[in-house]
Amino acid sequence: MRLLVTGGAGFIGSNFVHLTVRERPDVQVTVLDALTYAGDKTSLAPVADKVTLVEGDITDAELVDRLVGESDLVVHFAAESHNDNSLTNPWPFVHTNLIGTYTLLEAVRKHGVRFHHISTDEVYGDLELDDPAKFTADTPYNPSSPYSSTKAGSDLLVRAWARSFGIQATISNCSNNYGPYQHIEKFIPRQITNLIDGIKPRLYGKGENVRDWIHVEDHNSAVWTIIEKGQIGETYLIGADGEKNNLEVVEALLEAFGLAKDDFDHVKDRAGHDLRYAIDSSKLRDELGWEPKYTDFQSGLQATVDWYKANEAWWRPAKEATEAKYAAAGH
């Protein structure tokens, strides 16, 4: 099978490529990645001899048409993915998440190639902290930021192309991921790399906001399950019942470093910060038989901390620039 992975030099995409090379040696992998600030060739270094990396943009219709035409399956991870950045400059989000997805869909439609679209639970907006509900594939879309609204738009494009043109597509909406190779601008790796540098964790507001954490390996095993067993045209929610508020995450991080639970600083909450996300993944579990492996958050987090400690050469070059960007934005 010839597989095209967009965004395969990013966090989840590179882990997906690693998993594929490890467990599916018959799959021939090509990565299409623009290597933006979030993409890193070195994330693919351990599998470099088994993967073809094409540096290019998913809005480049000619390139996309050629690569899709040479593939049997496209798994689409490429995106602008950081909420905070979308509040300062929304344009790259519109460009990549909407126009990029459109460009891929047109190529997939032309060549009749199977397509799996990676999306987020943030398209559903947020739940009240005391609301017992969880998101399902039937929850109405209610995105809050330029990031989540462009992801919502990309999902709707995929649905429309499936309905109107009969493309062979599935969609997954996953909760917050953690694990190796995540850019240090994101909450967990930023705190981990700060702790390695002896800087206290920082918490938005009171830390009451709840995220449903899933290890990236579990996300990616679910994606393969959907590719192999999912119904064409369907949307599957991926989650591992990992609801934790931000205070609990910070406490778990401090524990992973052997520090006191209250050894952190507060920062002001950001505009439109969603309260709670929670995923009901029963459709994926009951209909397709998927189960997560990393069900203990503390041990998954400890493994992630250990990875960042052992791979400083991977994250250190981006640290100073990332912190300068946050400092300029007042975070």
Ligand X SMILES: NC(=O)c1ccc[n+]([C@@H]2O[C@H](COP(=O)([O-])OP(=O)(O)OC[C@H]3O[C@@H](n4cnc5c(N)ncnc54)[C@H](O)[C@@H]3O)[C@@H](O)[C@H]2O)c1
Active centre residues (catalytic)? 121-122, 147
Q: Check binding of 34 to ligand X (CB under 6 A).
A: yes
* Secondary structure element (H or E) that encloses residue 211, with its range: strand 210-212
Q: Which stretch binds ligand X (CB under 6 A): 27-35, 197-205, 256-264, 287-295?
A: 27-35
Q: Angle, to 10 degrees, between the axis of helix 297-310 and the axis of helix 246-256?
A: 60
User: Which 3 state secondary structure label does DSSP give 171?
Assistant: strand
Number of residues that bind ligand X (CB under 6 A): 31
Choose which of 81, 86, 170, 322 interacts with ligand X (CB under 6 A).
81
By beta-carbon proximity to ligand X, the closer residue of 58 and 130 is: 58
Q: Check binding of 189 to ligand X (CB under 6 A).
A: no
65, burial (CB in 10 Å: exposed 0-12, middle 13-18, buried 19+)? middle
Residue with tokens 């090379």: 21
Q: Check binding of 73 to ligand X (CB under 6 A).
A: no
User: Which 3 state secondary structure label does DSSP give 47?
Assistant: helix
Phi, psi of 127 (to 5 degrees): -110, 155
Q: Check binding of 169 to ligand X (CB under 6 A).
A: no
Q: Check binding of 210 to ligand X (CB under 6 A).
A: no
Choose which of 83, 103, 120, 170 interacts with ligand X (CB under 6 A).
120
Q: Check binding of 153 to ligand X (CB under 6 A).
A: no
Parallel, antiparallel, or unpaired: how do β-strands 169-174 and 114-120 relate? parallel
Choose which of 51, 158, 162, 174 interacts with ligand X (CB under 6 A).
174
Could you tell me the smallest distance in angstroms from the CB atom of residue 185 to ligand X? 9
Could you tell me the smallest distance in angstroms from the CB atom of residue 207 to ligand X? 18
Q: Which residues from 35-64 bind ligand X, rule CB under 6 A?
A: 35-36, 38-39, 57-59
Residue type, 9: A
Contact 157, 220 (CB under 8 A): no
Parallel, antiparallel, or unpaired: how do β-strands 243-245 and 210-212 relate? antiparallel
Q: What token pair was written down for 297?
A: 């958050």
Could you tell me the smallest distance in angstroms from the CB atom of residue 124 to ligand X? 12
User: Which 3 state secondary structure label does DSSP give 207?
Assistant: coil
CA distances from 234 to 101, 116, 153, 252 (A): 17, 10, 16, 36
Q: Check binding of 274 to ligand X (CB under 6 A).
A: no
Q: Check binding of 152 to ligand X (CB under 6 A).
A: no
Q: What token pair was written down for 301?
A: 């987090």
Could you tell me the smallest distance in angstroms from the CB atom of residue 39 to ligand X? 2
Q: Check binding of 177 to ligand X (CB under 6 A).
A: yes
Could you tell me the smallest distance in angstroms from the CB atom of residue 33 to ligand X? 5
Q: Check binding of 211 to ligand X (CB under 6 A).
A: no
CA distances from 212 to 239, 240, 278, 295 (A): 7, 8, 5, 12
Q: Which stretch binds ligand X (CB under 6 A): 45-53, 112-120, 158-166, 271-279?
A: 112-120
Residue with tokens 């995105």: 143
Choose which of 3, 5, 12, 162 interacts with ligand X (CB under 6 A).
12
Contact 154, 101 (CB under 8 A): yes
CB closest to ligand X, residue no: 10
Q: Which stretch binds ligand X (CB under 6 A): 2-10, 102-110, 248-256, 271-279?
A: 2-10
Contact residues for ligand X, defined by CB under 6 A: 6-7, 9-13, 33-36, 38-39, 57-59, 77-81, 96, 100, 118-120, 151, 174, 176-177, 183
